[in-house]
Amino acid sequence: DVKVTQSSRYLVKRTGEKVFLECVQDMDHENMFWYRQDPGLGLRLIYFSYDVKMKEKGDIPEGYSVSREKKERFSLILESASTNQTSMYLCASSWGAYSSYGYTFGSGTRLTVV
């Protein structure tokens, strides 16, 4: 069964800490995405990547950065965590840019910043 795996299901971090959220996919997908989901706001796209070492800003990139050194791994980095970054973070992957196939999502990481 194909998978997108997020390293942690629940995470608690302190304000100001540098936080790494890891995502790995085993489907050889070109594209990978990071979303956050908040009540009443739905899923919002933070960053995405169409290839190794490539990254594009989504709708809400402020306060975040990403790294994609290998095709299967896409990391989301909170440089200095703040309480307003408490959220559910969802990683997804998909086939190449001109494929009509949908996304496969991970189970999510619920991050609490205290």
Partner 1 sequence: DAKTTQPTSMDCAEGRAANLPCNHSTISGNEYVYWYRQIHSQGPQYIIHGLKNNETNEMASLIITEDRKSSTLILPHATLRDTAVYYCIVRVDGNDMRFGAGTRLTVKP
Tokens 């998909």, residue?
A: 94
Q: What is the amino acid identity at position 24?
A: V
Nearer to partner 1, 18 or 55 (CB): 55
DSSP code per residue over 36-66: EEETTTEEEEEEEESSTT--EE-S--TTEEE
- Restricting to residues 12-51, name those near partner 1 by CB under 8 A: 33, 35, 42-43, 45, 48
Q: How far is the CB of 5 from partner 1 (least distance, A)?
A: 11
Which x/- pattern over 80-109 shows residues binding partner 1 (rule: CB under 8 A)? ----------x-x----xxxxxxxxxxxx-
Judge contact between 30 and 19, C-beta under 8 A: no
* Count of residues making up the chain: 114
Helix, coil or strand: residue 85: helix
Q: Residue 98 Cβ, how far from partner 1 at the closest point, in Å? A: 5
Q: How far is the CB of 107 from partner 1 (least distance, A)?
A: 5
Shortest distance in whole angstroms from residue 69 CB to partner 1:
21
> Which DSSP category does 86 fall into?
-
Residues of the shown chain interacting with partner 1 in the complex, contacts defined by CB under 8 A: 4, 33, 35, 42-43, 45, 48, 58, 90, 92, 97-108
